[in-house]
């Protein structure tokens, strides 16, 4: 073994010894903290307990004073008005952030309810989105070829096309239904989309009437065919004209069922489907100040005590 190898081995042993000693010293120092901490608590037990009680009481009071509530509106945009919905909510939220009293009163959104935020987000419903038609399935397939399917579904360019969206109204107090109704009315105020909505509604009602008329005509033809004068049964195979009429009737019945369900929603540009009011908000630090305040007070006391010792 040459001198270089011996020297290298010796250096490695010294390095390991240094690391071992450093760890040992660090462990000893850490263990010393435990009795010092216990001694500090014993000397200051009354102050710590006092700060704990003050912090808890102050925290509960602050929780009660700063209660926040979320009220939700599930909506569905009609005739491709998703972007319009998000722009309207963004504009409303901007006026609220600016505390624009005149705007709020003009739209009958009572400022006394202390609304501090309004936001909207899609309700994840990927299966219904894909069932809307082959084109939606193909678009999703193309987008997810080189990306994670979950990320594609969560991406706003995809999720904004989901049929339902959630508007959340955050306030520092409980709000009435009239406030949510006023917000829906504001969102549905549009000089451009209102005439479009009215026309779509009239067209849909007309389609129902026409379909009902055709269904009656088909029923008449089928009744005549079924009551032949010679009382012989009529054989209907898949290729017959009568079978085509039956299939057509089924399609018209399904269309009318869909149209009749849609008509109430077509009274709106953005149709409200469901409301839920005044759900207490526990996000972030909300409702947890009785735990946070004692920690802050005791932490400040420890820091001040350490600064005094250093001086």
Considering the domain architecture, whether residues 245 and 108 belong to the same structural domain is answered as no
CATH, residue 79 = 3.30.70
pLDDT at residue 98 greater than cutoff 70? yes
Considering the domain architecture, whether residues 78 and 116 belong to the same structural domain is answered as yes
Q: Residue 181: its pLDDT value, please?
A: 92
Q: Residue 88: its pLDDT value, please?
A: 93
Considering the domain architecture, whether residues 103 and 164 belong to the same structural domain is answered as yes
* Three-state secondary structure readout of 50-85: HHHHHHHHHHHHHHHHCCCEEEEEEEEECCCCHHHH
Q: What are the helix and strand counts (H, E) for the chain? A: 12, 4
- Of 87 and 295, the structure prediction assigns the larger pLDDT to 87
Considering the domain architecture, whether residues 275 and 131 belong to the same structural domain is answered as yes
Considering the domain architecture, whether residues 275 and 153 belong to the same structural domain is answered as yes
Considering the domain architecture, whether residues 304 and 217 belong to the same structural domain is answered as no
Average pLDDT of the residues of the chain: 77
pLDDT at residue 235 greater than cutoff 60? no
pTM comes to: 0.65
Considering the domain architecture, whether residues 81 and 59 belong to the same structural domain is answered as no
SS3 state at 241: helix
**Cα gap 28→211, rounded to integer Å:** 88
Considering the domain architecture, whether residues 136 and 274 belong to the same structural domain is answered as yes
Considering the domain architecture, whether residues 139 and 275 belong to the same structural domain is answered as yes
Considering the domain architecture, whether residues 50 and 182 belong to the same structural domain is answered as no
Q: What is the DSSP string of 171-235?
A: ESS---HHHHHHHHHHHT--TTHHHHHHHHHHHHHHHHHHHHHHHHHHHHHHHHHHT-TT-PPPP
Number of structural domains, the chain? 3
* Mean pLDDT across 268-278: 91
Range picked from 4-8, 83-87, 296-300 for highest mean pLDDT: 83-87
Q: Which domain holds residue 223?
A: 197-265
* Mean pLDDT across 221-241: 59
- Asked whether the beta carbons of 149 and 47 are under 8 A apart, the reply is no
């Amino acid at each position: 073994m040459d001198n270089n190898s011996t020297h290298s081995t010796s250096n490695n042993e010294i390095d390991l010894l240094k690391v071992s000693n450093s760890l040992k010293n660090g462990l000893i120092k850490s263990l010393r903290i435990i009795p010092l901490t216990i001694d500090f608590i014993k000397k200051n037990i009354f102050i710590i307990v006092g700060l704990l009680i003050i912090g808890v009481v102050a925290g509960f009071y602050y929780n009660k004073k700063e209660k926040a509530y979320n009220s939700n509106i599930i909506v569905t945009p009609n005739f491709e008005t998703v972007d319009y919905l998000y722009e309207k909510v963004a504009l409303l939220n901007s006026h609220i952030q600016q505390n624009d009293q005149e705007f709020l009163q003009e739209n009958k959104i009572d400022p006394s309810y202390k609304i501090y935020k309004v936001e909207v987000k899609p309700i994840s419903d990927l299966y219904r989105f894909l069932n809307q038609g082959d084109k939606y399935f193909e678009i999703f397939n193309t987008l997810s070829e080189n990306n994670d399917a979950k990320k594609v579904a969560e991406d706003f360019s995809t999720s904004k096309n989901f049929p339902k969206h959630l508007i959340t109204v955050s306030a520092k107090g409980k709000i009435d239904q009239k406030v949510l109704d006023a917000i829906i009315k504001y969102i549905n105020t549009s000089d451009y989309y209102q005439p479009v909505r009215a026309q779509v509604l009239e067209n849909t009602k007309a389609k129902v009437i026409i379909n009902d008329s055709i269904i009656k005509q088909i029923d008449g033809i089928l009744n005549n065919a079924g009551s032949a004068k010679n009382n012989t049964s009529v054989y209907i195979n898949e290729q017959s004209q009568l079978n085509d009429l039956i299939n057509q009737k089924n399609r018209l019945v399904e269309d009318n069922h869909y149209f009749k369900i849609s008509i109430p929603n077509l009274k709106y540009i953005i149709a409200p489907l469901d409301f839920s009011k005044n759900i207490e908000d526990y996000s972030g630090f909300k409702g947890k100040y009785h735990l946070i305040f004692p920690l802050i007070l005791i932490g400040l006391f420890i820091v001040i005590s350490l600064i005094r010792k250093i001086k």
